[in-house]
Amino acid sequence: MAPRLSRCWALVLAISAPLAQAATLDVAWWRDGQLTALQLDENGASRRAAFDGARQVPLGSLWKLFVYVYAIDKKVATPDYTCGGQKNEEVYCCTAGKSIGRDLALAQSCGLFFSPARLMLTRRPWQQYWTERLGRAPVGEYGWLAHPSDLTPERLVSLRSLMVALAGIPAASRAQAESALLHVVLGARGVNTASWFGSRLRVKTYSWHHPQRTTERLGGAAGWLADGTPLWFGGADTSSRILERWAPRLATALPAAAPRADAGCVVVDYFARYPIRSVAAGPVAAVSGLLNGPYQVRFENGRSLAFFSQGDMVLARDPEGRIRLTGRFGVNDYVARVIDREGGTAAPEAAKALAVAARTYLQQNAQWAEGCQRIADSSATQRVSPQPASVDARAIANWTDQLVLSGVNVRYHADTASKDTMAWNQAVAQAGQGMRFDAILASAYPRADLTTLSGGDSQQCVRLPGAEAWLARELPQWERVLRKEAGYETPLELPAVCHLARGTPYSEQSRNRIYVRALSSREDRITLAHEFLHLGLRNHPRGQDEALVERLARRLVDTRLEASQ
């Protein structure tokens, strides 16, 4: 066994060495039984990669995804994991005395939750399940799926076998996994990357030690694109730093999503405030029932409007004999029609922000009836175009699929901003200044969190007033030093300092937030200073250099401690 592993690691070394030296990222996806492989470099170039499906990659934390899917499909009991505070690995799970559920455990990479021993997974049903999924016995290059105990992070697997396994996962359990994994780009592991990916990326991250240089890491992620296309990418660094560094390049390199069915169901009561006199198909009055084709609606106030139905609008009369026109759409089709009616797509980042706001408004205000959400088309709620959604609006609705805001009651207006109300003209102006959709949302709804329809897993901001006060006191002294640093910018507002319940401290540039655990020691203060510097030095040529930032943070804190003694 050892000689075979050595040969495999030699292959990994041969591939990963250029990654470290040339700052490249390898990317692969699987469609129609074919692997497409690219290599991106930091200079903006992309080229066909030299590797193929035989490429050996470390399994790392990806094993948790396969346990998750198996547990869903086989209805394995997955009780919450309670942290006792005795295991170092619990840093990825929860704090002592708290517990973590299945979806958050997957997004946070809590290995203790998915331990095959804890979930009592056994060989025979596991092997049978993966034989059915793969269409072959899990032997040879698929042998890593032969037994739950074979799922170890150091295990090397062929890229082809990984892709085939991801492609074989049933749509229903994949959808649940994707819903959980959307939180990767919204939380600490993918911080600042929702700007680039929206909801396109549904991946499980992994990081592992370089086999010979133990201070170096290999990292990346694997999972699916929004249309179910299996995806893998990897390079030399931790997964979180790879995501943050490569997000803009990776987002442009990903393949276009294939068309897919729209989820959900929204019934729209059209023209709720305008009594209808008649609906006609050309010169002939339209017949009650499902409409298909071009029509014209005439209102009691004398106005008229042409619209087109694709078999998704219904004409009826209520018990009082009044004409009613309703539409029935998927959620993204509905959101796209709101974009067309309330804003437009000329400023795409503003349109993305509007899409999230419109989807949130729907969730907060629609009524549930017969398995659908029901809402009126009205200036008192939000207006919905009776025309089929434009191609651009539908693309934006799909790009933001499932993304919503939590924590505030969302509203928006054409030109007047107020508390928890986004002004469309201001959003367009901000987009013109280069702001991306999540920053536009943060500006309009500073108390809100970007999350998903499944809710619950995003990193909420529980403010730490003591830490914020300390930062406010220290910053004027720090800036005597920081003004000498190239690219340093004083934040327009003091960052919000939020309590970090799990994971490692981080800063969130798009929302001007810092997540830390406490402020009770010198090291805690250095950590807070470190994360502040990532915000202030975001335009510094080495602003993401962890070693440089850490040295400067210690210098700032220790100088102030010495001055106060």
Return the bridge partners of 57, or none: 157
- Listed by start position, the domains of the chain span 2-76+121-253, 266-452, 465-564
Indicate the CATH number of 465-564 among 1.10.3470, 1.10.287, 2.40.10, 1.10.10.
Answer: 1.10.10
Give the three-class secondary structure for 243. Answer: helix
Residue 239 to residue 242: CA distance in whole angstroms = 5
Structure tokens at 377: 């088309």
Structure tokens at 86: 């005795």
**Predicted local distance difference test score (pLDDT) of residue 534:** 87
Residue 233 to residue 250: CA distance in whole angstroms = 9
CA dihedral 500, 502, 507, 509 (to 10 degrees): -100
Burial of 374 by CB count in 10 Å (0-12 exposed, 13-18 middle, 19+ buried)? middle
pTM score of the predicted model = 0.79
Fold identical between 2-76+121-253 and 465-564?
no
Burial of 20 by CB count in 10 Å (0-12 exposed, 13-18 middle, 19+ buried)? middle
**Predicted local distance difference test score (pLDDT) of residue 240:** 86
- Return the H-helix or E-strand segment holding 466: helix 465-482
- Return the H-helix or E-strand segment holding 187: none
Over residues 63-84, mean pLDDT: 92
Residue 191 to residue 357: CA distance in whole angstroms = 21
- The full length of the chain comes to 565
**Predicted local distance difference test score (pLDDT) of residue 260:** 76
Tens-digit pLDDT profile for residues 265-318: 999 999 988 999 999 999 999 999 999 999 999 999 999 999 999 999 999 998
**Predicted local distance difference test score (pLDDT) of residue 216:** 78
**Predicted local distance difference test score (pLDDT) of residue 212:** 64
**Predicted local distance difference test score (pLDDT) of residue 40:** 95
Residue 432 to residue 347: CA distance in whole angstroms = 7
Give the best-scoring range by mean pLDDT among 162-166, 496-500, 513-517: 162-166
- Contact between residue 409 and residue 165 where contact means Cβ atoms under 8 Å apart: no
What is residue 377's DSSP assignment? B
**Predicted local distance difference test score (pLDDT) of residue 308:** 96
Residue 434 to residue 355: CA distance in whole angstroms = 18
How, if at all, do strands 323-329 and 266-269 pair?
antiparallel
Instruction: Give the CATH fold of the 2-76+121-253 domain.
Output: Beta-lactamase (3.40.710)
Distance of CA 429 to the CA centre of its chain: 25
Distance of CA 515 to the CA centre of its chain: 18
DSSP 106-174: HHHT-TTTT-TTTTT--HHHHHHHHHHHHTS-S-GGGGGGS-GGG--TT-EEEHHHHHHHHHTS-HHHH
Return the bridge partners of 178, or none: none
Over residues 451-457, mean pLDDT: 71
Lowest mean pLDDT across 6-15, 229-238, 254-263, 459-468: 6-15
Q: Name the average pLDDT for the chain.
A: 87
